[in-house]
């Protein structure tokens, strides 16, 4: 089978399944009739710009347009890399993240023990925040930026 077909199949597998290792992906490809080595698969993953991100079960392979098309300098912080936006409604806030980064963001907020935030709940690409009564949006943003300064380029004071 041709390389382009193999690359397309790899892309579809990664987009449709949670793949946590090259061995797992290699087994799937071999079962589908592809003949390749681990070294070839490694080169294919590099060509497709596949990345590994933290997940509940260790790590997961992803192909993300946000990751591929990023023109910013590479971040060493999963919180900075994964954070996309924050929006408020009443005493709640919703943070949007890249897929599978929400737990890293929520964990960083929880560990920072920000007094303006009562708690967090993380999904796959969303963190839900409950804010204390009477706290303003600017107070929350200021507190987040104080505790997580790597987000200064991603969050503006309201």
pLDDT tens digit sequence for 17-60: 888 889 999 999 999 999 999 999 988 988 888 888 776 667 88
User: Hey, what CATH topology would domain 78-151 get?
Assistant: Gyrase A; domain 2 (3.30.1360)
At 68 the pLDDT is 45
Q: What's the whole-model pTM score?
A: 0.55
Q: What's the CATH number of domain 3-63, 3.30.43.10, 3.40.50.180, 1.10.10.10, 1.10.3720.10?
A: 1.10.10.10
| The three-state (H, E, C) secondary structure of the chain, written as one string | CCHHHHHHHHHHHHHHCCCCCHHHHHHHHHHCCCCCCHHHHHHHHHHCCCEEEEECCEEEEECCHHHHCCCCCCCCCHHHHHEEEEEEECCEEEEEECCCCHHHHHHHHHHHCCCCEEEEEECCCEEEEEECCCCCHHHHHHHHHHHCHHHCCCCCCC
């Amino acid at each position: 089978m041709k390389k382009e077909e193999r690359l397309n199949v790899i892309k579809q597998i990664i987009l449709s399944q949670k793949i946590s290792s090259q061995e797992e992906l290699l087994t799937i490809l071999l079962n589908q009739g592809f003949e390749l080595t681990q070294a070839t698969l490694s080169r294919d993953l590099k060509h497709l710009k596949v990345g590994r991100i933290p997940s509940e079960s260790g790590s997961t392979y992803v192909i993300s347009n946000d990751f591929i098309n990023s023109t910013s300098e590479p971040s060493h912080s999963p919180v900075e890399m994964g954070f996309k936006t924050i929006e408020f409604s009443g005493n709640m806030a919703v943070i949007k993240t890249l897929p599978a980064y929400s737990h890293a963001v929520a964990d960083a907020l929880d560990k920072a023990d920000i007094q303006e935030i009562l708690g967090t709940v993380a999904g796959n690409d969303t963190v839900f925040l409950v804010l204390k009564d009477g706290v303003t949006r600017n107070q929350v943003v200021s507190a987040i930026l104080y505790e997580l300064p790597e987000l200064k380029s991603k969050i503006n004071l309201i």
